[in-house]
């Protein structure tokens, strides 16, 4: 079992609780948002086993969200860290929830989370919310490591590049599809765009390869 195998059961569980869930948002394995004023923002970090590194990840996320959940695979013999009273008490003191996921995908809540302290980093919280809202769908399973992330910015770049397959266009034309198209074309983070003349942009070969299916 890989960490990404935990994602779909956790996503279904959180969606059942009323959250819109997306994976790998600004480095967080799973981010859930429930509409409200203000919205409720939760982060769930995942490991194959409950350990100190998982707790430290939760500590790092706590300042940016309303609830922190720690999730890991259920221990086969029922003797894992999630059954250790000291581990559970530590998470309770920190305000973290604990979830165990079985090999069959069953989700068990071991400890319920609570807000242990006021939020201290509104900028990080705002960045999480913005990325969650801008990202179309949920293209990334949480828990993956070392692979490119399909961020909202990359999605917007793909929309611009796809539009340019039909021919050169101006930033104003592309802005009708993507609000931040002018900034995307100017920064050209991925090297997909080239300015042909003043105010007119086209695709580079790299950009064309990024949006067209590979040729056999």
Decide which of 3 and 70 is more confident: 70
Q: Could you tell me if residue 28 is inside a domain?
A: yes
Hey, CA dihedral for 138, 144, 150, 153, is it positive or negative?
positive
What CATH number should be reported for the domain holding residue 120? 3.40.1350
Nearest to 44 by CA among 57, 35, 36: 57
- For residue 100, the SS3 value is strand
For the record, the structure tokens of 64 come out as 């940016």
CA distance linking residue 86 with residue 81, whole number of Å: 9
Same domain, 110 and 159: no
Which of residues 82, 107, 134 is at a domain's end?
134
Which of residues 102, 134, 166 is at a domain's end?
134
Q: Which domain holds residue 97?
A: 4-134
Hey, CA dihedral for 43, 49, 50, 55, is it positive or negative?
negative
CA distance linking residue 151 with residue 131, whole number of Å: 8
Q: Are 207 and 193 in contact (CB under 8 A)?
A: yes
Encode burial over 31-50: b for 16+ CB neighbours within 10 A, e otherwise: bbbeeeeeeebbbbbbbeeb
- For residue 98, the SS3 value is strand
Q: What is the CA angle 60-15-26, rounded to 5?
A: 30
- Note the maximum CA span of the chain: 67
**The model's pTM:** 0.79
pLDDT(45) > 90: yes
- The total number of structural domains in the chain stands at 2
At 119-168, the pLDDT tens digits run 568 888 899 999 999 999 998 888 877 777 899 999 999 999 999 999 99
Which of residues 71, 102, 134 is at a domain's end?
134
138: Cβ contacts below 8 Å, ≥ 6 apart = 11, 21, 22, 23
At 2-11, the pLDDT tens digits run 888 999 999 9
């Amino acid at each position: 079992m890989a960490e990404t195998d935990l994602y779909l059961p956790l996503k279904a569980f959180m969606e059942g609780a009323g959250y819109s869930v997306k994976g790998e948002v600004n480095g967080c394995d799973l981010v859930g948002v429930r509409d409200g004023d203000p919205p409720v923002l939760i982060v769930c970090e995942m490991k194959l086993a409950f350990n100190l590194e998982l707790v430290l990840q939760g500590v790092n996320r706590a300042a940016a969200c309303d609830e922190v959940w720690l999730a890991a695979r259920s221990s086969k013999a029922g003797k894992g860290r999630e059954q250790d009273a000291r581990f559970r008490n530590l998470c309770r003191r920190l305000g973290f929830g604990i979830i165990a996921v079985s090999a069959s995908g069953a989700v068990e809540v071991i400890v319920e989370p609570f807000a242990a302290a006021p939020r201290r980093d509104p900028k990080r919280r705002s960045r999480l919310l913005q990325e969650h809202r801008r990202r179309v769908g949920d293209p990334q399973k949480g828990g993956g490591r070392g692979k490119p992330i399909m961020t909202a910015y990359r999605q917007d770049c793909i929309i611009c590049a796809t539009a340019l397959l039909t021919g050169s266009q101006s930033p104003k034309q592309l802005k009708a599809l993507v609000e931040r198209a002018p900034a995307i074309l100017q920064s050209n983070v991925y090297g997909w765009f080239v300015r042909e003349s003043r105010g007119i942009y086209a695709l580079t070969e790299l950009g064309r390869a990024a949006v067209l299916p590979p040729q056999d």
